[in-house]
C-alpha cells in the first residue's frame, strides 16, 4: 500500500481503509470476507491469492466459482456504500479538500470488478447469473 508523506492524505487513507473494513465486517459473511481479503492481498503476506487456490481452500467447485463468490461480495459491498460511514467520510473529505470536484460519492454496484491476476474481469451480471446456475444444481 502506498504511504503518503502528506499528513492530510495519510489520515484520509487511514479512515477510508478503516471504514471500508468496517463495512466488510457488517455486510459480508465470513467466507465472502475471507475471499475478498485473500484475493486483494489484505491477509497473509500481502500478495493476491489466485481464484484456483481460493477454490481449493474453501472447497468450491472451481476457480470460476471462487471468482463469482468474489464478484458477488464486491457487488454487495458497493451496494452497501450509500449511507455508510465510508461514504460520509469520503464525501466530507472531498468537500473539504477538493471543493472544485464533485462532492457526491456514488458507486454503481454492477460496474466491472477488478481482478489482480491480469485477466479480463468477470462482469457483475455474469457473476449473478453463475450464482443462479449454481443454486439450480
Averaged pLDDT for residues 118-136: 58
* 96 Cβ neighbours under 8 A, 6+ residues apart: none
Q: Which three cell numbers stand for residue 114?
A: 477488478
Averaged pLDDT for residues 121-134: 58
Grade residue 76 by pLDDT with cuts at 50, 70 and 90.
very high
* pTM beyond cutoff 0.75: no
Residue 113: HSE in the Cβ half-sphere, 13 Å Cα cutoff:
24
pLDDT at 135 over 80: no
* 16 Cβ neighbours under 8 A, 6+ residues apart: 86, 89, 90, 93
Amino acid at each position: 500500500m502506498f504511504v503518503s508523506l502528506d499528513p492530510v492524505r495519510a489520515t484520509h487513507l487511514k479512515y477510508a481503509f478503516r471504514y471500508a473494513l468496517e463495512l466488510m465486517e457488517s455486510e459480508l459473511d465470513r467466507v465472502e470476507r475471507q475471499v475478498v481479503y485473500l484475493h486483494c492481498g489484505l491477509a497473509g503476506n500481502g500478495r493476491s491469492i489466485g481464484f484456483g487456490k481460493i477454490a481449493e481452500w474453501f472447497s468450491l467447485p472451481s476457480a470460476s466459482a471462487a471468482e463469482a463468490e468474489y464478484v458477488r461480495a464486491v457487488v454487495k459491498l458497493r451496494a452497501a456504500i450509500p449511507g455508510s460511514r465510508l461514504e460520509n467520510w469520503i464525501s466530507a473529505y472531498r468537500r473539504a479538500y477538493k471543493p472544485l470536484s464533485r462532492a457526491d460519492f456514488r458507486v454503481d454496484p454492477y460496474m466491472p470488478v477488478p481482478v489482480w491476476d491480469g485477466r479480463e474481469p468477470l462482469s457483475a451480471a455474469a457473476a449473478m447469473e453463475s450464482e443462479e446456475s449454481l443454486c439450480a444444481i
